Amino acid sequence: MQTAEAGPEDHKYDPPGQESKYTAAELALRQPDDLEGNGQTYKETVESDHNVNETDATGSKLTSDGTSDVSAGLENVASLLEQTVESALEQSHEKDHQVSTEINTEQNLEDGNVKIKVNNDVSTEIADQIVDREKSADKIEDPESDIESEEEDPPILKYSRLSQVPANFFKNDPVSAATFNETVFIFGTHSGSIHLCNPEFTAIRTFKAHRASVLSLYTDGIYFASCSMDGTIVIGSIADAQDIVRFDYKRPIHAVVLDRNYQRTRSFICGGMSGNVIYSSKNWLDQRVDVVLAEDHGPIISIQAVDDLLLWMNDLGITFYHVPARQVISVVEKPSNAFRSDLYWPRVSFPETDRVLMAWGNYIWSFRVSLKTGLSGNTGAGSSVKSRLLPSAASLLFRSVPEKSVSVEHFYQVDYLISGIASFDGDQWIVLAYNPPKENPTTGRLEPENPDLKRIKALDGATIHEEEIGLDFVDNLGLNDFSLGYHIGPSSTRYFIICARGGVIAQKIQLDDRLQWYLDRQLYHKAWIMSKHLVKPLERLRFGLKHLDQLLELKNWKDAASWMAELLFLDSKEFPMSDTKSTLATRISSTLQLEDEEIYAKEVRSEWDKCCATFIQNGHERELTAVIPKDPRWSLQKYHYSKILVYWLSLIDETDKAYQLLKEWDLELFEVDIVTGTIELILELGPDNSRLRRILCEIYENSYEPVKVVRHMCILRDSEIIQFLDQNHILPLFISSIPKFIKLQFENDSDIELLPIYQLKNKLKDVIAILVQRRFEILPTTIVKLMAENHLEVVTFFYLEELAAINDLIVQNLEDTRAQLYCQFDRPKLLPFLMNNHYYDISKVIEMCETSALVDELVYLLGKTGENKKALRLIMEELDDPQRAINFAKTQTDPAIWNSLLEYSFSRPTYIKALIELSDDQSCKFYNPITILQRMSTEVNIEGFKESITTVSLDNDLNVVLNQLILSIVYKKSEELSKKLNSDMLRGFLFSVDSEDVRKIADVFETYVITLTGTNSKPQIGLVSGVVQADEFAYRLSTDLAAKLRHVHSLSAKLLSRESCG
């Protein structure tokens, strides 16, 4: 059980006329049978000697000067309390540093003994100091207790001492009643004084209203009512001190409430020791009339009002009375085993207008007020059945009153006495539990107990939480001396625990209070979690950093790293941007927000650097690796990342993590020189680590140091080294090493000599493409020389072939080399190359062909140099190809060649057959097939000779027929064109005759020809004979096909010219 204390106050109060050291409640528990008729608490026996101007029951006004002269209170004892606490702490350190949870100090003062009780969960300033000192002692001496305290949750309520009432209240003049309205708080004392104040405790006025204890207070926010042991009732305006009246009923009045329309009706309801519930109102003559609503069931203990409903408590139980209907609607009897009615006064609360909470003794009721429905509903106050069926004329003037009903929602008994009840959050209630005095086994004396404030479930009354309320001077106080009130304010609900000598305000703890509670107890993690929307980001960051410090002090590096990642997380979207575009209305706020974000980002970055340095200095790079930011925009010190990488690289058994980090981390994060230097050293010790070497190559490449990559790529035998050099534009720096790099394309150096040419071309195509592309940076002559020196002629062959495909001029001076390479690697292309190029050295090529026995190429070259006979001899003797020999002779058009061919052919049947079959217009100049037949020996046997002659004859006849057909076609075409030309030439057209020569010809000749030489030329007149004689083909007989074709062409030209003119 926790204890809530609000601080020390003044002396205990011994009311006059009460000799027993026990309260009535205590005596009832001890001797319930001996207290018959004596159930009053000391409130009912307090008497005052103060005089009050009063009136009789007719209601005359109270004088305005009836104020009380209350003596000043005792001197402040805070300094004495602090001295006591310090002394207690010193003693606790001497006793193994065990801090007790309660400090009791007794000090004799002038007016009596003062007993001060301080509990370590008090919300007052002095008690907080005590808690802090106790925490300091626990933290120094018992670290585990601090860890346990971190697991605590903040309290639901916070407490403060009620000290805003007048100085004499609670001290010299104990409080006997209090009520709390939305707009006004009212306190009544045992001396009969009343204090009015607003909810902020700003005093409205304080005055003397009664001669004895105020037993009950009521207010509707405009008027207030009080009743007293002296039998008087005082009703007055809160705002107007002059508007006040007093009524004297000559017997103690326990309760009074105002009619809800008191301002208009001036009616009120009261009750007390007389046992009558009196409804006092004014009639139409302005005379006060008292109507008894109930009687003969013992003293009226309490009267409450909610809306238009009254409820009072007496020996009968709980009675509900509907004022508009003027009838009792429900009576709830007391349980048979309940305490006597006037022994423990009931406590009532109204959480809603249709809800009533009541605690009486150790019983709790929850009532619900609702309207009755159905045809059986009553239509009037106390109406009979007859009046309902046959309403009178008077009844028609009034609106029927809806009848209300009351039902019990919850009812149960608890194992403690209740001094107050109110609603709490949701389905919870808060009750003030009275603890009777307990007997001290040593002294035998009864020692007072502070009340407990409990939170219970509305359903079954089960206790959810309870804590002791540390009130001052509770000696000789009974249940009726405690009360619980509440006020619903704009921000929170306050609960007022009131006793005769003191008061405590309990208030639901707010978020800022919760935050401060965590901070006071160094629970920085919970403070950070809950403060996201309470404080600025920088302040919240401080909370998290303090929690991080706690984890580091505990050497909990793993959790510290995880917490650091969460605390110092900053989304990439939250990085401050330089663009602050906004409208005029939002530019200032946007700029301020941007500045705050930049400041926060800088602070987070700074804390990252500090935390990383701490982890590294303590050798916890492993924990730091998982959480350190990987975004270069953080701009953290590169030293941290470098140290982490060096740490992982140094772990031989866990190098995979280093490889992973080197792959993932941007080069901007760490110092490249340090990391690469470390890797170089590792590779010197273990050169076979190809994976690490490749990662080093990537680092060099990404850090723009490609030259350093080359050596490692050579060690790795990377086949893409030339591509790498080309991409980084450093190939000209390694010209001499190009052959070495080319050999890296093959698994074995011997593959260059053993693989087929097409496979070599496929493997080297990328390299060749790069060399060709860089032909202006690395000259072809350089490549050719370099490859020749390294016996890589095949590379030269592919290289020059690609160059020639792009531009022949580039390799024009390398044709000798090309011819040699064609001879070596691609012989079929040699002859076309020799035929299409003319800048090679023929003598060298002839020598090469003779050496390589390349007859076809040699024949071509000999023919090119004029050694036709030698070439023909090679064809006839070496190749023995009559068809090729004949074709060679046709190309040379040399009679000597033909003679050599014919002389060689007469003795060889294959040649004779070829000469006859291949004869044509081109060869007929040099030989006639008939002549060959005549000159050939009759003894020569030629296979297929007959078929050859037949074929030749058929071909000749076919040629004749074809020529005739073609000639007839040409004749027909010529005739058509001639007719068209003639008609076109003779077609008439109008023209102006304005020349004398034209008139003369027109007058002499019947037929004449008019010609135009151009579009804009004047027409010329002439004779037909003159025009026809001008045509060279007019009188020529075209027996030759060629001549006739020329005639057709001439006619077509003339037609075209005429069409363009006309």
The predicted model scores a pTM of 0.58
Is 313 contained in some domain?
no
Q: pLDDT at position 730, please?
A: 93
Q: pLDDT at position 15, please?
A: 35
> For the chain, how many structural domains are there in total?
1
Is 1014 contained in some domain?
yes
Q: Is 796 exposed, middle or buried (0-12, 13-18, 19+ CB in 10 A)?
A: buried
Q: pLDDT at position 84, please?
A: 36
Q: What is the C-alpha to C-alpha distance for residues 496 and 742, in angstroms, rounded to an integer?
A: 95
Task: Identify the bridge partners of residue 813 per DSSP, sorted by sequence position.
Answer: none
Is 105 contained in some domain?
no
Is 76 contained in some domain?
no
Q: pLDDT at position 953, please?
A: 65
Is 1049 contained in some domain?
yes
**CA angle 129–130–135, rounded 5-degree value:** 100
Q: 785 Cβ partners below 8 Å, 6+ apart?
A: none
Rounded to the nearest 10°, the torsion over CA 948, 953, 954, 959 is 130
Q: 1018 Cβ partners below 8 Å, 6+ apart?
A: none
Q: pLDDT at position 683, please?
A: 92
AA letter at 1021: I
Which residue reads 């003339």 in tokens? 1054
Domain residues for the domain of 974 are 967-1061
Is 971 contained in some domain?
yes
What are the residue ranges in the chain where pLDDT is below 70? 1-152, 373-401, 572-592, 907, 917, 920-925, 928, 930-962, 985-995, 1005-1006, 1008-1019, 1024-1041, 1044, 1055-1062
**CA angle 449–451–455, rounded 5-degree value:** 145
Q: 871 Cβ partners below 8 Å, 6+ apart?
A: 858, 859, 860, 862, 863, 888
CA distances in angstroms from 797 to 585, 742, 744, 853, listed in the order given:
75, 14, 19, 21
Is 217 contained in some domain?
no
Q: pLDDT at position 403, please?
A: 83
Q: What is the C-alpha to C-alpha distance for residues 523 and 516, in angstroms, rounded to an integer?
A: 10
Q: pLDDT at position 591, please?
A: 63
Tell me how crowded residue 786 is: count the other CB atoms within 10 A of its CB.
19
With residues binned 3-state (H G I as helix, E B as strand, rest as coil), the percentages for the chain, rounded to 5, are 45, 20, 35
Q: pLDDT at position 50, please?
A: 35
